[in-house]
Amino acid sequence: MVLFHNDYNEVCHPAVLKAVNEMAMNQYPGYGMDDLCKSAADRIKRLCENDQLHVHFLVGGTQTNLTVIAASLRPYQGVISADTGHINVHETGAIEATGHKVLSIASADGKLTAQQIRNAAGAQSEAMDAEHTVQPKMVYISNPTEIGTIYTREELEQLSAACKDCGLFLFLDGARLGYGLTAPGNDLTLADLARLCDVFYIGGTKVGAMFGEAVVISNDRIAEDFRYMIKQRGGMLAKGWLLGLQFETLLKDNLYFEISAHANRLALQLRDTLKKLQIPVLVDSPSNQIFPILADCVLEKLGKEFTFNMMERVDQTHCCVRFCTSWATKQEDMDALCAALVNYSK
Amino acid sequence: MVLFHNDYNEVCHPAVLKAVNEMAMNQYPGYGMDDLCKSAADRIKRLCENDQLHVHFLVGGTQTNLTVIAASLRPYQGVISADTGHINVHETGAIEATGHKVLSIASADGKLTAQQIRNAAGAQSEAMDAEHTVQPKMVYISNPTEIGTIYTREELEQLSAACKDCGLFLFLDGARLGYGLTAPGNDLTLADLARLCDVFYIGGTKVGAMFGEAVVISNDRIAEDFRYMIKQRGGMLAKGWLLGLQFETLLKDNLYFEISAHANRLALQLRDTLKKLQIPVLVDSPSNQIFPILADCVLEKLGKEFTFNMMERVDQTHCCVRFCTSWATKQEDMDALCAALVNYSK
Amino acid sequence: MVLFHNDYNEVCHPAVLKAVNEMAMNQYPGYGMDDLCKSAADRIKRLCENDQLHVHFLVGGTQTNLTVIAASLRPYQGVISADTGHINVHETGAIEATGHKVLSIASADGKLTAQQIRNAAGAQSEAMDAEHTVQPKMVYISNPTEIGTIYTREELEQLSAACKDCGLFLFLDGARLGYGLTAPGNDLTLADLARLCDVFYIGGTKVGAMFGEAVVISNDRIAEDFRYMIKQRGGMLAKGWLLGLQFETLLKDNLYFEISAHANRLALQLRDTLKKLQIPVLVDSPSNQIFPILADCVLEKLGKEFTFNMMERVDQTHCCVRFCTSWATKQEDMDALCAALVNYSK
Amino acid sequence: MVLFHNDYNEVCHPAVLKAVNEMAMNQYPGYGMDDLCKSAADRIKRLCENDQLHVHFLVGGTQTNLTVIAASLRPYQGVISADTGHINVHETGAIEATGHKVLSIASADGKLTAQQIRNAAGAQSEAMDAEHTVQPKMVYISNPTEIGTIYTREELEQLSAACKDCGLFLFLDGARLGYGLTAPGNDLTLADLARLCDVFYIGGTKVGAMFGEAVVISNDRIAEDFRYMIKQRGGMLAKGWLLGLQFETLLKDNLYFEISAHANRLALQLRDTLKKLQIPVLVDSPSNQIFPILADCVLEKLGKEFTFNMMERVDQTHCCVRFCTSWATKQEDMDALCAALVNYSK
């Protein structure tokens, strides 16, 4: 059985494991107050072309989302998200458990537009009884989105301008950031993200690390006392240097982006195959998640060799499913998947 | 200026004020541990035809909603609501501030159906990764709804059965309950509500009291230690007997229902006038809130004599607005409003 | 039976009830956006000699405490309180339910000193691992305290200076403020409180109102969006004008202070009687709460005519109890209590 | 510089790292739904001699504490802890951030007694106004405690009986459990813990793992939907099999206990040295944390070669500090520390 149902099925990229092995018996102070974390943070600041940034390392995505959002909002404020946003549908109400409403906006492609933000904020500021409703204060986006689409620089510039105009923080969830920044059509850089967002993160868990997300904060209001927030929410790893080491390893020599590009290439092979077979997709994703709509009989056969995610039933005989590639996906496995699709679609 | 923008513009019904005056210098123990509260609670149990019920008195609606819901749910559980539900849009995220997500469902008429509940609960119970999503555990409905519509007994029976089948609590917000139970077409009684809901409340604030909501709990799991919840959330009135006294006054001799029926009669006069004038309404409400869609030029003129609520802009020249009647609305004021509508619509 | 177990056993002072009767059928807009609230707020600002203050009206004390504290703190911050503080022991964890730790400090007389604050804040700021502990950000005091003692101006000046030096907000719970400001030995004024505290409140529930607490905020950071906080926590009274009216009535013509002084005079009569009888007290309270330590046999006899609060067992044959007077206490009832004490102590 | 300031200064025990290397490119399903987690959970159940237990793996201690406690309590309930308890002083208010008060009890040796629990619960159940105070529902203890002391079986039996009598859950924080269960004087086994506690955890982070805590739940009420709680609080590791693998490696062939015993042996060498030098200690700890009270001049010299934790200033010239040993501490480093102590104390 070959696992295509997500992009975190293996421990980590060999270079990361090698680095862990090499320093295994060194002694380090705890909680991220070590040289490896400092070194990785400095590298991220250089990549983001801004040495005033604040960089923190956390273990996982839900933890990162809830910590960043709780650090940013006053109790009566909420966070705007596409209805498909991870925080809205796939984190067991982690944001609400910190006391904040997720203000969801319908989105067909998983993205939010500047106009949607301006409308939502405008409705609030013009309301006679504004204090009876949740005050929007942050916008949460994912890049790539939960359905694989990506933002262009132009779109993010406009979104950022809308947020600034409306007094909103812009938070970009980069759990799969590598796959987004190496997707065909991408024109964003880490420096752009640092410039346009108040806070974003560089995902490690899904892009070659054992675990870990690197939070990059450009807004000092969010950065204030952020380590208190991490500790309180249970996200402060005792052996924090493991996080610094992993990001240092992934980000030096461009490894993070090379392995992401590998995953995208294999995903696009799948996309091309689907196109040739005239199999429809939920959305035209350029990154490592592909969402074909397949007949149940095809899915039944595929399910004997490959894993994938059930997204939703489309009609009585078809479902939308998700295939993920990753840094670890083998060419031969993708060839086998594509061959199977061709074969079962005859 | 005559106020039609809500149903709580005056202190209270004269009978309530008279009762307060009569016992003003009596001494009572605090926090609802007095004979007046006991007497009112007993009367409510009799009206509900069930002496096993638990009755508590709180001051206001938002407070009641957040206390009931926080008392009912474990941290990862959420409450299903129509998207128009008061808890979803008009309480500044009070539910989320207790840690729980409001799971909203689109509704054209402000009501939820048994089928919607079964679908939502079914999706959760069949999910492979259910623990990544909020677990629905309670259904919140309002009767009358925020847009004036009411549930029939048949509808509530089905909703209650769906909740029982799916292991969900059913909570009915009765902030305007009097207006609902005396609306044309209503076939529900207090005893029905006590039988079909796990918890509901009889609204006082909007139906003749100075303030106060009487919570009626039939499910022992929700009732357990409920006074701790009231105290912790700031809802335990020091001079609790004021609540008991008000409900005792309103509920004896059928006053609560008589004054509600009065409000409905005047609202229906407005509804009939709108119908004759062929003015469209948002929804065909049989209770004390009426939602006409009026031309801006008409609204401008009306606004000089009457207050009303702006609901939403419908098109470039029309808005949907709300007129409320109450126990206190005078026949002559409604006559004036209807005459003005006739006049300005010429 | 005469009730001495607290200071909120009657509906309200006759002048307040008269005022309610007089405007009972007037129409007002809801939620405190009315002229009566504005008028009362303006009067409070004049009494505090500062027209930049922010004044809000809430219904009860626990509600006020939790709303003010939740509005003031970021999630990892806590509030320092004497271990006897109401928020620490008598509000069912209402503060913790908003996510914040109460950092209690042992206090024999119910008060906190400037030195205690400097020590607590200093320990935090010098800690190597400060982010592993709750960050103190607010100091909560009561005046009079929960055991009747009062702060002098000198003490409050020093406490306020310590808070400013340490970057802490100072919050004074004035649930019984009238009794404190009219106690023998008091040299504080409302203007002092507004100058020395970031936020305080003027208690109505225990000093002649039916209900209500007037929050006075001098610190703009706490004041920001405070109405959102009130609404979210369920403290926004629909018929808010009832609050404005009550404070307007109590604060004009000095009524609030006259009725408080009356209560203190009767309490001091009790204190003098106890002194003559050489009955020890928990603390030498100058205000309306008196805490004698009495033999069980005396308490048994007293309990047949008077109510009082059990505070704690002192030894096998004695308990500390509390007697409260109020604006409503009658001279003849205090005479009877003192006579009974004399009689039973023979 | 040799690090003695805590017991998590190295990545992990070599056997753990070897195991990670061996399965590094295997594919596993996410979130702990894999065979390695199942296998480790089954092993723990066997070691606890109870196959009805529920075992879950989390990443760190604060996260585990807040998740277990939030899963166990209703909103108005609190958790009793020694004042030295980790949850009370060293987790940035993580428990309060879930809405619950930590009810601290003074303790000289870091432990709680059955009598203290009975007193606390008794006071609550006898109170006239119980609902005005937090309801105790859980007792939190650590073994070994934060100051190195351990519970005997007799003590834990009594504590467990007191909890059962009073309707309280008993939760044992085993962040350093290996060091406790192998300390001289210990007579507890894992099976005892599973029998006497409602929930406890086997600490990995401080006892040889890279990270990880194994939660063992015997009470079905706490176990219900526990994975929802883990996910919501951000503790569900994507690559959950890393947790299963580590506990499987540590717990098979008794490795966990052997490496703990090693740490204790070295700590006792330090304890004996201190005794010979007549250097006082905070408490007579039998486990891997030792708390000598040393002169500032000695500490200054030691600080050039060794790290340790500052606990508190004892007098003008002495401080109490903490030295930790671990599975990774080398005999030669302990010899050097003891020699230095002998040398500097001359």
- Reply yes or no on whether the pLDDT at D128 is more than 80: no
What local confidence, expressed as pLDDT, does residue D129 receive?
87
Q: What is the dihedral of CA A133, A134, A135, A136, to 10 degrees?
A: -130
Instruction: Compute the mean pLDDT over every residue in chain C, rounded to the nearest whole number.
Output: 97
Domain extent at residue D269:
2-6+257-344
In tens, the pLDDT along A292-317 reads 999 999 999 999 999 999 999 999 99
Using an 8 Å Cβ cutoff, are C216 and C200 in contact?
yes
* Average pLDDT of the residues in A115-122: 94
Q: CATH number of the domain that C237 lies in? A: 3.40.640.10
Which residues of B fall within a CB distance of 8 Å from D75? 70-71, 98, 229, 232
Q: Which residue in A158, A172, A88, A168 sits closest to A136, CA to CA?
A: A168
Chains within contact range of chain B (3+ C-beta pairs < 8 Å): A, C, D
Q: How confident is the model at residue A6 (pLDDT cuts 50, 70, 90)?
A: very high
Task: Report the distance separating Cα B178 and Cα B257, nearest Å.
Answer: 6
DSSP letter, residue D130 = G
Q: Give the pLDDT band of residue A126 (cuts 50, 70, 90).
A: confident
Q: pLDDT at position C246, please?
A: 98
Helix or strand holding residue B290 (H, E): strand B289-290
Select the residue of D10, D61, D234 nearest A62 (Cβ to Cβ). Answer: D234
- C329: its two tokens: 């206490």
Tell me which of A100, A133, A228, A231 to substitute to probe the interface with C (most C C-beta atoms closer than 10 Å): A228
Contact B227/D at CB under 8 A: yes
pLDDT band at D25 (very low <50, low <70, confident <90, very high): confident
CB neighbours of residue A297 within 10 Å: 10
A301 in contact with C at a CB cutoff of 8 Å? no
Task: Give, rounded to a whole angstrom, the gap between the first and last alpha carbons of chain A.
Answer: 23
Mean pLDDT for C250-270 is 97
Q: What percent of chain C lies above the pLDDT cut of 70? A: 100
Indicate if D39 and D180 belong to the same structural domain.
yes
Provide the pLDDT for residue D127: 79
Residue in chain A nearest C224 by alpha carbon = A74
Burial class (CB in 10 A: 0-12, 13-18, 19+), D168: buried
Rg (CA), chain A: 20
In sequence order, the 6+-apart residues with CB closer than 8 A to the CB of C54 are C216, C217, C218, C220, C223, C226
pLDDT bucket at D217, cuts 50 / 70 / 90: very high
Buried b (16+ CB within 10 A) or exposed e, D210-236: bbbbbbbbbbeebbebbbbbbbbbbbb
Contact C228 A70 (CB under 8 A): no
Q: What are the chain D neighbours of B99 within 8 Å (beta carbons)?
A: 99
pLDDT digits (tens, 9 = 90+) for A17-32: 999 999 998 999 999 9
Report ipTM for this prediction: 0.97
Say what the alpha-carbon torsion angle B295, B297, B300, B303 is, to the nearest 10 degrees: -50
Of the candidate ranges A196-205, B120-129, C194-203, D306-315, the one whose mean pLDDT is the lowest: B120-129
pLDDT at A245 over 90: yes
Percent of chain D exceeding pLDDT 90 equals 97
DSSP string, C235-299: ---TTTHHHHHHHHHHHGGGHHHHHHHHHHHHHHHHHHHHHHTT--BSS---SSEE-BEEEHHHH
Q: Chain-wide mean pLDDT for chain A?
A: 97
Let me know: does A325 contact A335? Beta carbons within 8 Å.
Answer: no
**What DSSP line would sit under B157-169, residue for residue?**
HHHHHHHHHHT-E
Distance CA A252, CA A243 (A): 14
The reply to whether residue B30 touches residue C239, judged by beta carbons under 8 angstroms, is no
Residue A282, token pair as written in the block: 């939920």
Instruction: Tell me, yes or no, if C88 comes closer than 8 A to chain B by beta carbon.
Output: no
Taking 80 as the threshold, does the pLDDT of residue A128 lie above it? no
Residue D344 has a pLDDT of 93
Nearest by CB: D99 against B76, B99, B130: B99
Is B99 in the same domain as B228? yes
How far is the C-alpha of C77 from the C-alpha of C137, rounded, in Å?
6
Cα(A223)–Cα(A72) distance, integer angstroms:
9
Q: Cα separation of C176 and C261, whole Å?
A: 12
Residues A186 and A145 sit within 8 Å (Cβ to Cβ): no
Backbone angles phi, psi at C315, to 5 degrees: -150, -170
Rounded to whole angstroms, what are the CA distances from C284 to B63, C53, C82? 39, 34, 18
Buried b / exposed e over C260-270, threshold 16 CB at 10 Å, is: bbbbbbbbbbb
How far apart are the C-alpha atoms of D140 and D120, rounded to whole Å?
13
Tell me the pLDDT of chain B (346 aa) as tens digits.
999 999 999 999 999 999 999 999 899 999 999 999 999 999 999 999 999 999 999 999 999 999 999 999 999 999 999 999 999 999 999 999 999 999 999 999 999 999 999 999 988 877 878 999 999 999 999 999 999 999 999 999 999 999 999 999 999 999 999 999 999 999 999 999 999 999 999 999 999 999 999 999 999 999 999 999 999 999 999 999 999 999 999 999 999 999 999 999 999 999 999 999 999 999 999 999 999 999 999 999 999 999 999 999 999 999 999 999 999 999 999 999 999 999 998 8
Looking at residue B128, its pLDDT comes to 77
B23, B206, B239 ranked by CB distance to C210: nearest: B239
Distance of CA B70 to the CA centre of its chain: 18
- Return the half-sphere exposure (C-beta side, CA atoms, 13 A cut-off) of residue D59: 27
> DSSP state, D48?
T
In whole angstroms, what is the distance from residue B3 CA to residue C98 CA? 37
- Are B155 and B200 in the same domain? yes
Find the mean pLDDT for residues D303-332: 96
Give yes or no for a contact between A107 and A83, defined as CB atoms under 8 angstroms apart.
yes
Q: Stretch A186-209: mean pLDDT, rounded?
A: 98
Share of chain A above pLDDT 90, in %: 97
| pLDDT over 90 (residue D304) | yes
Q: Residue written as tokens 């009238």? A: C178
CA D73/CA C302 separation, integer angstroms: 41
Contact D242 A210 (CB under 8 A): yes
pLDDT beyond 90 at C338: yes
C201 and C297 share one domain: no
Given D221, D255, D289, the domain boundary residue is: D255
**What secondary structure does DSSP assign to D56-71, as a single string?**
EEES-HHHHHHHHHHH
Hey, is C203 helix, strand or coil? strand
Contact yes or no for A228 and C70 at CB 8 A:
no
Residue C324 to residue B340: CA distance in whole angstroms: 58
Contact yes or no for D260/D327 (Cβ under 8 A): yes
Question: Are residues C293 and C232 part of one domain?
Answer: no
Same domain assignment for residues A21 and A53? yes
Q: What is the pLDDT of residue B123?
A: 82
Indicate if A187 and A227 belong to the same structural domain. yes
CA dihedral over A254, A258, A259, A260, signed as positive or negative: positive
Q: How many domains does chain B have?
A: 2
Q: Which of B211, B233, B255 finishes a domain? A: B255
B243 and B301 inside one domain: no
Same domain, B27 and B174: yes
Contacts of A119 (CB under 8 A, 6+ apart): none
Mention every residue, 6+ apart, whose C-beta is less than 8 A from residue B189: B181
Residues D56-74: what's their mean pLDDT? 98
* Residue D200 CB partners (closer than 8 Å, separation 6+): D171, D172, D173, D174, D177, D193, D194, D215, D216
Q: Is B96 on the interface with A (CB under 8 A)?
A: yes
Using a CB-CB distance cutoff of 8 angstroms, which residues of chain A are in contact with residue B96?
Answer: 78, 96, 99-101, 134
Contact list in D for residue C97 (CB cut-off 8 A) is: 75-76, 99
Scan for tokens 């005046």, then name that residue: C143
CA atoms within 13 A on the CB side of A18: 6
- The per-residue pLDDT for D124 is 80
pLDDT of residue C123: 82
Closest CA to A182 of A337, A326, A45: A326
Query: In a 3-state reduction of DSSP, which class is residue A101?
Result: coil
- Per-residue pLDDT of C72-103, as tens digits, reads 999 999 999 999 999 999 999 999 999 999 99
- Verify that D207 and D179 share a domain, yes or no: yes
Q: What's B174's DSSP letter?
A: -
User: In chain D, which residue's Cα lies nearest the Cα of A32?
Assistant: D9
* CA separation for the pair D260, D206 (Å, rounded): 10
Residue A181: per-residue pLDDT: 98
Say if residue D122's pLDDT is above 90. no
**Cβ-defined contact of B229 to D75 (cutoff 8 Å):** yes
- Higher-pLDDT residue of D179, D126: D179
- Residue at a domain's end among C228, C255, C282: C255
Q: Summarize the confidence of residues A232-250 as an average pLDDT.
A: 98
Which CATH number goes with the domain that contains A291?
Answer: 3.90.1150.10
Beta bridge partners of C139: C80, C170
The predicted pLDDT at position D345 comes to: 86
Residue D186: pLDDT band (50, 70, 90) is very high
Instruction: Please give the angle made by the CA atoms of D319, D322 and D324, to the nearest 5 degrees.
Output: 165
How is A165-210 classified by DSSP, letter by letter? Answer: HHT-EEEEE-TTHHHHHTSTT----HHHHHHH-SEEEEE-TTTTSS
Which whole number is the average pLDDT over D6-15?
95
Q: Which two tokens stand for residue B102?
A: 């409001």
Residues of A in contact with C98 (CB under 8 A): 75
Among the partner-chain residues C92, C101, C310, the one whose CB lies closest to the CB of D132 is C92
A265 and A202 fall within a common domain: no
Q: Is the domain of B157 the same as that of B30?
A: yes
- Give chain A positions within 8 Å (CB) of B310: 128
Amino acid occupying residue C80: I
> Is residue C120 predicted with pLDDT exceeding 90?
yes
Q: Which of C173, C176, C232, C333 has the most B C-beta neighbours within 10 Å, making it the best mutation to test the interface with B?
A: C232
The reported pLDDT for the residue numbered B79 is 98
